[in-house]
Amino acid sequence: MKRKIRVIVADDHDCVRVGVQRLLRAAPHIEVVGEAADTYGLAELLDARACDVVVSDVSMPGIDGGSNAVSFLRRLLRGRPHPCVVVLTMICHAHMLSGLLHIGVGAIVDKRDVAGALIEAIEASVAGRVFLSEQARVAMETSNTPVQLGAGVLSAREWEVFQLYVQGHAVHEIATRLQRSGKTISTQKRSAMRKLGLETESDLIDYARQIGLT
């Protein structure tokens, strides 16, 4: 008998974790070996339990602060060996989705597609295939901006500036708080927007709302 696919589920919403686990436990070839509500809990589980796939949200608090698990997932995917990562998200921004694929995420499932796509996504990631659920694929295909490798993957400093800016802090306030020059903060803000394909302040606020920052 083939060994079951061992899965850890990570999401900061209890209802999502419950629903995902119920769905996965109905699949005879999948075993849920743990759940986490933030990246602290996820890190502890990964140290304590062997798993093949991490199913994780990206708008989740924890080790890196804020509500962004991307930095943690990026470090996880740099390790050797590492589990496959299937991202659950409501983000429909093509640059962000492309950035997740670039750092090694094997599958992206829009939360609206979970019931019909999650098990297939897990199977595809274990088999080494890239998988996009229907809503994620539509978001990528209908983007008017060419998707670049590395798009959507912000440096730690860019992410720090981005978070403070969308929370309502002016550039000069961020500069004072982080002990950097105003010019440096402006450059990091523009770089973050460029990587994410955001052209206007309205785009920036809409994107921040998508990932749960506002």
**String of DSSP letters for 83-137:** -EEEEEE----HHHHHHHHHTT--EEEEGGGHHHHHHHHHHHHHTT--EE-HHHH
For residue 200, what pLDDT is reported? 84
Distance CA 105, CA 187 (A): 28
Q: What is the pLDDT of residue 12?
A: 92
* pLDDT for the residue 74: 83
Q: Which domains does the chain have, with CATH numbers?
A: 5-141 (3.40.50.2300), 156-210 (1.10.10.10)
Residue 198 and residue 207 in contact, taking contact as beta carbons nearer than 8 Å: yes
Q: Looking at residue 149, what is its pLDDT? A: 45
Q: What is the pLDDT of residue 1?
A: 53
Token pair 């602290």 is found at 40
Give the model's pLDDT for residue 97.
84
* pLDDT per residue of the chain (214 residues) written in tens, 0 to 9: 578 999 999 999 999 999 999 999 999 999 999 999 999 999 999 999 999 999 999 888 777 666 678 878 888 988 888 999 999 998 888 877 887 887 889 999 999 999 999 999 999 999 999 999 999 999 888 765 554 444 556 777 888 898 889 888 999 999 999 999 999 999 999 988 887 777 788 888 777 766 656 6
**What pLDDT shows up at residue 95?**
75
Q: HSE (CB half, 13 Å, CA atoms) of 183?
A: 0
Q: Which amino acid type is present at position 85?
A: V
pLDDT at 64: 66
Cα 203 from Cα 197, distance rounded (Å) = 9
Q: List CB contacts of 55: < 8 A, sequence separation 6 or more.
A: 7, 8, 9, 10, 20, 24, 86, 88, 118, 122
Residue keyed to tokens 């998200």: 89
